[in-house]
């Protein structure tokens, strides 16, 4: 039985140029920093992990019905920080805000539906964010902290969310390669299924 690595995500393609602009200064920092390629930037709604390929059809059917319960909504990429803290940065992120709470409700329903398909419940609460980089060490930690403090309240911009995606992740020596398996349009969005590019 073939095993594939899956996750459910929101994409923010329209904001990629602004994200790139924001990262220009930060990318001058020295150290062992793994930057997420711009085309891979996403918000994870639910990480499914290792999955038998035979299960994919059930996941798709469940997510299609979930998507139809939610209207399109706007998200704003604003505020940045690092996990676990500014003094001990391991992950650089940017926050994702949604005034209608549609995003939170959608993530919660996806979580519950995936638990019903035997995926483990995520013990950490859902904190909407986009990972921009993973940090092993910084040559100039104080410079990083100063830069991030400068951008804590940054507002990258907003984007209308019309769909979410089931993504396949293939780990390669050069990094993860993502492939969109299916696109789930929200109520009033385009037709179901994978859109034409």
Q: Where do the DSSP E strands lie in the chain?
A: 3-11, 31-35, 42-52, 73-84, 89-97, 129-138, 155-161, 163-172, 175-185
Is 42 among the catalytic positions?
yes
Residues 6 or more apart whose Cβ sits within 8 Å of residue 101: none
For residues 190 and 193, give the distance between their C-alpha atoms in angstroms, rounded to a whole number.
Answer: 9
From the CB of residue 97, how many other CB atoms can be counted at a distance below 10 Å? 14
Instruction: Select which of 46, 129, 162, 183 is catalytic.
Output: 129
**Phi, psi angle pair for 119, to nearest 5°:** -90, 145
For residues 153 and 75, give the distance between their C-alpha atoms in angstroms, rounded to a whole number.
Answer: 16
For residues 139 and 31, give the distance between their C-alpha atoms in angstroms, rounded to a whole number.
Answer: 5
Is the bond into 84 cis (omega within 30 degrees of 0)?
A: yes
Alpha carbons within 13 angstroms on the beta-carbon side of residue 48 total 29
Instruction: Select which of 42, 46, 162, 183 is catalytic.
Output: 42
* Residues with a known catalytic role: 42, 129
């Amino acid at each position: 039985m073939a095993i594939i690595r899956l996750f459910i995500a929101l994409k923010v393609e329209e904001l990629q140029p602004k994200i790139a602009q924001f990262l220009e200064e930060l990318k001058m920092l020295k150290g062992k920093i793994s930057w997420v390629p711009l085309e891979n930037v996403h918000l994870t709604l639910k990480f499914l992990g290792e999955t038998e390929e035979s299960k994919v059809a059930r996941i798709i059917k469940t997510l299609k019905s979930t998507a139809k319960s939610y209207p399109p909504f706007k998200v704003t990429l604003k505020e940045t920080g690092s996990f676990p803290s500014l003094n001990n940065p391991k992950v650089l992120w940017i926050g994702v805000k949604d005034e209608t709470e549609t995003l939170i409700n959608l993530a919660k329903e996806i979580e519950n539906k995936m638990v019903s398909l035997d995926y483990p419940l995520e013990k950490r609460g859902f904190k909407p964010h986009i990972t921009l980089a993973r940090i092993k060490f910084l040559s100039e930690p104080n410079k990083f902290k100063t830069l991030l403090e400068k951008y804590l309240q940054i507002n990258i911009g907003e984007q209308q969310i019309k769909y979410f995606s089931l993504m396949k992740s293939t780990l390669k020596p050069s990094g993860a390669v993502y492939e969109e398996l299916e696109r789930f349009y929200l109520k009033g969005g385009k037709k179901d299924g994978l859109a034409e590019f």
